[in-house]
Amino acid sequence: MEMSSLLKPEAVRVLSSASSKKRLLQELGETAGSVYGVDPVLAIRALQERESLGPTGVGNGVALPHARVEGLEKVVGVFVLLERPIEFDSVDKLPVDLAFALFAPSDAGVEHLKALAKVSRALRDPGRCAKLRSNKNASTLYTIITEDLSQQVA
């Protein structure tokens, strides 16, 4: 599974206005709606419900919110760079400035877990995260986030 199969270039955003976790989840759901055609209300509600089970802030300023949503045929993603980090109830208590949301079909099984593992691996790479944080251009961010891990030079 390639990262580019999960993420469209227009689903990459730089946000200066997200002031809370709730607002970020709204932005992620609205972007999924406009880019992938899912119902944004359902997408936002699904993210909020998943978040109520336990925070998806995985540490080091990274959040991986994810949810199952009616109306999708495959797993898709939205990536956001926040210009100002926000509180996200992360495991390490640090604020979040990188968020990659995954939206899966209601009946998705292993595909959803494989996508989550792929994104998690990519955003555990400190070099990639540093590159993402130092760029404010959505197309550059897309190139960095979809870069194959095996192609990165140590």
122 domain-assigned:
yes
Domain containing residue 55: 3-146
Task: Give the CATH number of the domain where residue 110 resides.
Answer: 3.40.930.10
151 domain-assigned:
no
pLDDT in tens, the chain (154 residues): 688 889 999 999 999 878 899 999 999 999 999 999 999 999 999 999 999 998 899 999 999 999 999 889 999 999 999 999 999 989 899 999 999 999 999 888 788 889 988 999 999 999 999 999 999 999 999 999 998 754 444 4
pTM of the predicted protein model: 0.92
Please check whether residue 24 is in contact with residue 154, taking contact to mean a CB–CB distance below 8 angstroms: no
| Helix spans in 1-154 (H) | 3-6, 21-36, 40-53, 110-123, 126-133, 138-146
139 domain-assigned:
yes
Active site residues: 66
In sequence order, which residues have a C-beta less than 8 Å from that of residue 58 and are 6 or more positions away? 64, 90, 91, 120, 123
39 domain-assigned:
yes
